[in-house]
Amino acid sequence: MKAKRIPQAVSEEFLAPYLSDRAVCSMEEYVQHGSTTTFQHCLSVMHTSCGLAQRLHLKINFENLALGALLHDFYLYDWHDDFYRHPKNGRPLHGFAHPSIACENAMVRFRISPEVQHIIRTHMWPLTWRNVPASREAVIVCLVDKLVSTAEAATGFFCGLRHLWGKNRRRMQPSFLERM
């Protein structure tokens, strides 16, 4: 296991079983934002959350914080799929539904504490307005998730523009040369 996957504030022994779990690693198969996979996104939220809490010298439970961040999007499907993007028969939209799905998956797969469940269930607040983050760990993950998601979406957008610009330039070249 790569050492960089483990935040400084958490022991490798604690996180290793989760990071080597087949279902957790399967998040690598799903795209979260732009070209970022759900696994990469969860790792980023975990590292940024732990780094921020350490830097601010916050008195928090780092194990709960790291685990809640790692599993906060443990919903295990491609949310870009039409089935999830256009819900029918009263099924809620992905944005509203996935915190509960992720939490249930995490509860089935691992024995997670009520504190970690709370972090996962409340990370989409204020969208899920009834599930308000009520612990420091939950507030951190809720905020950091939004920051990381925005950065990933912006990076994906600019990479897409660059790709498009490159394509258009390549398409323009022959006609430009023909005119010479």
CB of 102 to Fe ion, least distance (A): 7
User: Do residues 72 and 79 lie in contact, with contact meaning Cβ atoms separated by under 8 Å?
Assistant: no
CA 112 to chain centre: 18
In angstroms, the CA 95 to CA 92 distance is: 8
CB of 23 to Fe ion, least distance (A): 17
Token pair 């269930």 is at which residue?
A: 121
Name residue 43's amino acid: L
3-class secondary structure, 77: coil
Q: Which residues bind Fe ion (CB under 5 A)?
A: 73, 145
CB of 131 to Fe ion, least distance (A): 12
CB of 100 to Fe ion, least distance (A): 11
DSSP secondary-structure letter at 115? H
Report residue 59 as tokens.
Answer: 């008195």
Between β-strands 36-37 and 31-33, what pairing exists: parallel, antiparallel or unpaired? antiparallel
- Smaller CB separation from Fe ion, 127 or 164: 127
- Smaller CB separation from Fe ion, 62 or 123: 123
Token pair 């491609």 is at which residue?
A: 78
- Smaller CB separation from Fe ion, 132 or 161: 132
- Smaller CB separation from Fe ion, 127 or 172: 127
User: Do residues 53 and 99 lie in contact, with contact meaning Cβ atoms separated by under 8 Å?
Assistant: no
CB of 69 to Fe ion, least distance (A): 9
- Smaller CB separation from Fe ion, 39 or 62: 39
